[in-house]
Amino acid sequence: MGLKEWLARVVEEAKQGLNKPSPYGVDIDVTTYAVAEGGGYRFDMGSIDRVGVDLKAKALYLQIDQSYFKYISRIPGVEVLRIEDFIENYPDEAKEYVWRLIRPSMDKYVAVAALRGMGGYFIRIKKNTRVEEPIMACLFISLHGLQAPHNVVIVEDGAEATVYTGCTVAPESIGLHIGLSEFYVGRNAKLRFVMVHSWNRVTHIRPRTVVNVSENGEYISYYANLSNVKTLQAYPRVYLDSGAHAYLASILLGIGDAEIDIGSGAVLEDSDSSVEIISRTIARDLSRVVMRASIVGRGGKGHIDCRGLMLSNNSLITTIPELHAESSNAILTHEASIGRLAEDEIYYLMSKGFTRDEAIGILVRGFISIDIKGIPEKVKNYIETIERLTAEKAM
């Protein structure tokens, strides 16, 4: 099948999903969000700084709205392209990796991205290449309207890298962000993926992510939402082959009247595969947060740890952990808890000289702190900054 025929098939399949809502989260009218025209984007360094993206990185992808793109790689063994350039320059490979893990008709949000989306990064870490410095990506909304990038990351056999993505919006913009991501982790390869979101109270966010981890591969994911958002719904899925391991961590901050429905799902294909799903949620004001997590075990070991912290009597947290064992070789466990800060702990810190607000800040920071093994020191510094900012926003 030629490239034109393949792209036409994608369009036809996407049309079949235009009226299909997501089974989770708040349903919105996607037709009200047009693609911003005219290229009149506004660059806001303050917003980009908040999500920790280093625009001086040796490997970088920057997208503003759907009209401005910058991408570069000065790291040997690392390719960074815009997805359209990858498809045009490598059509045979594109048919192997683009729209393979995510179907264009999956739901209305994916369908809109397939039909009207533009941009997104293609990142390839070549075989046996070990990259210490994070590969940076920034997706920024400066105008009212739709931003719908399609991202593909390929970590070839024996390779190792960290991809750090920051997504944000100008303070006064109204937008719908639909980010599609298909990740491929090769045999004995490792991908660390850090995604930081900082939106505003009128944006709707619908990421769609699927990850395939090959034999003895490793996928470590760290997601954080640092700010207010109108609605956020995501349910990334990871498929793990024999000997593969995944660690999926998320830090969620629900403030204002945000409605958040987010989770992670993993499928263990073999008795030697394993996964840990960790989530920490803070809810205050009138926010509503649903934390989902599921593991399907056709073998292997899996554990879910969901914890929620209530900072308001008017907020709501719901945890929905699911375990599905399809083999007697599967060992699956979960723990879930929701509570509030203990007054005796606050008083203890106050007795040491801290103010009440300082004591609460220390306890909140401890609640969201997650020890992720195997993270390079530079990435640890980014995560520590994320945790500090989240604790400050929660106050």
Mean pLDDT of 231-256: 94
- pLDDT level of residue 393 (50, 70, 90 thresholds): low
**Over the stretch 125-183, which tens digit does the pLDDT of each residue have?**
999 999 989 999 999 998 888 999 999 999 999 999 999 999 999 877 888 999 999 99
If asked whether residues 185 and 211 sit together in one domain, one would say yes
pLDDT at 63: 95
Q: Which residue has the higher pLDDT, 180 or 340?
A: 180
Mean pLDDT of 214-241: 94
pLDDT at 11: 96
pLDDT at 268: 96
Where do the H-state alpha helices sit in 42-155? 45-50, 83-89, 91-97, 108-116
pLDDT at 389: 67
- pLDDT level of residue 352 (50, 70, 90 thresholds): confident
If asked whether residues 186 and 283 sit together in one domain, one would say yes
If asked whether residues 145 and 81 sit together in one domain, one would say yes
**Over the stretch 45-58, which tens digit does the pLDDT of each residue have?**
777 777 888 899 99
If asked whether residues 321 and 356 sit together in one domain, one would say no
Mean pLDDT of 97-101: 97
Q: Which of 297, 317, 341 is the last residue of a domain?
A: 341
Where do the H-state alpha helices sit in the chain? 3-15, 45-50, 83-89, 91-97, 108-116, 343-351, 356-368, 377-394
If asked whether residues 299 and 375 sit together in one domain, one would say no
Number of domains in the chain: 2
Structural domain harbouring 390: 342-395
**Over the stretch 252-266, which tens digit does the pLDDT of each residue have?**
889 899 999 999 999
pLDDT at 36: 60
**Over the stretch 105-135, which tens digit does the pLDDT of each residue have?**
999 999 999 999 999 999 999 999 999 899 9
- pLDDT level of residue 37 (50, 70, 90 thresholds): low
pLDDT at 39: 56
Residue 10: what are its φ and ψ, rounded to 5°? Answer: -60, -45
Q: Which residue has the higher pLDDT, 241 or 367?
A: 241
If asked whether residues 286 and 371 sit together in one domain, one would say no
If asked whether residues 359 and 395 sit together in one domain, one would say yes
pLDDT at 78: 98
- pLDDT level of residue 341 (50, 70, 90 thresholds): confident
**Over the stretch 314-326, which tens digit does the pLDDT of each residue have?**
999 999 999 999 9
pLDDT at 275: 97
**Over the stretch 182-198, which tens digit does the pLDDT of each residue have?**
999 999 999 999 999 98
Mean pLDDT of 3-22: 94
Q: Could you give the 3-state DSSP secondary structure of residue 62?
A: strand
pLDDT at 374: 64
pTM attached to this predicted model = 0.93
Task: Give the lowest-confidence range in 62-71, 303-312, 338-347, 375-384.
Answer: 375-384
Mean pLDDT of 373-391: 69
Q: Distances from the Cα of 88 to the Cαs of 91, 155, 181, in angstroms?
A: 6, 21, 19
Task: Give the lowest-confidence range in 33-42, 253-262, 367-376.
Answer: 33-42
Is the pLDDT confidence value at 38 over 60?
no
Asked if residue 104 lies in contact with residue 10, where contact means CB atoms within 8 angstroms, the answer is yes
User: Pick from 265, 143, 144, 157: which is nearest to 210 by CA?
Assistant: 265
Taking the C-alpha atoms of residue 212 and residue 229, their distance in angstroms, rounded to an integer, is: 29
- The mean pLDDT of the chain is 90
pLDDT at 369: 77
If asked whether residues 166 and 243 sit together in one domain, one would say yes
Taking the C-alpha atoms of residue 383 and residue 391, their distance in angstroms, rounded to an integer, is: 12
Taking the C-alpha atoms of residue 70 and residue 81, their distance in angstroms, rounded to an integer, is: 9
If asked whether residues 281 and 388 sit together in one domain, one would say no
| CA 123 to mean position of chain CA atoms | 16
Q: Which of 303, 319, 341 is the last residue of a domain?
A: 341
Is the pLDDT confidence value at 353 over 60?
yes
Q: What is the torsional sign of CA 61, 62, 66, 68?
A: negative
pLDDT at 41: 64
If asked whether residues 275 and 320 sit together in one domain, one would say yes
Is the pLDDT confidence value at 372 over 90?
no
If asked whether residues 250 and 238 sit together in one domain, one would say yes
Q: Which of 305, 325, 341 is the last residue of a domain?
A: 341
If asked whether residues 221 and 284 sit together in one domain, one would say yes
